[in-house]
């Protein structure tokens, strides 16, 4: 039991040493919420910064994804009540859609 605690403490210390993503001076990362409801992403256009997190939450009975049009990121399938948190990188931005319902589209825009 003590060995397990030491291992957890070592893992926690190692994680703390991982460098944070560079954000513009004075900027803080934010958690943005995108609700999937009624076969729509809300909001359908969102301004984000590199280092922000975006939480996609499915409120519909049907399964959904949020998938970058260029394939650079994907939430995977989200069942009702499930969510996925993704970290915004400089490769993000642009349109995304639901792989199960391609008519569902929205846009993320990276702010400088």
Q: What is the CATH architecture of 29-110? A: Sandwich (2.60)
Burial group, residue 28, by CB count within 10 angstroms (0-12, 13-18, 19+): exposed
Domain ranges of the chain: 29-110
Residue 64 CB coordination number (10 Å): 26
- Strands (E) across the chain are located at 31-37, 40-42, 45-48, 53-58, 67-68, 83-87, 94-97, 105-110
Q: Per-residue pLDDT for the chain (112 aa), expressed as one digit of tens each? A: 444 333 333 333 333 333 334 445 556 889 999 999 999 999 999 999 999 999 999 999 999 999 999 999 999 999 999 999 999 998 887 999 999 999 999 999 999 7
């Amino acid at each position: 039991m003590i060995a397990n605690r030491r291992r957890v403490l070592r893992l926690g210390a190692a994680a703390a040493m991982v460098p944070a993503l560079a954000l513009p001076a004075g900027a803080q990362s934010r958690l943005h919420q995108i609700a999937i409801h009624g076969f729509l992403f809300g909001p359908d256009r969102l301004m984000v910064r590199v280092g922000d997190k975006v939480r996609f939450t499915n409120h519909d009975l049907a399964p959904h994804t949020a998938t970058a049009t260029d394939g650079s990121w994907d939430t995977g399938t989200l069942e009702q009540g499930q969510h996925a948190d993704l970290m915004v990188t400089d490769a993000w931005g642009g349109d995304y859609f639901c792989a199960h319902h391609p008519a569902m589209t929205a846009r993320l825009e990276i702010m400088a």
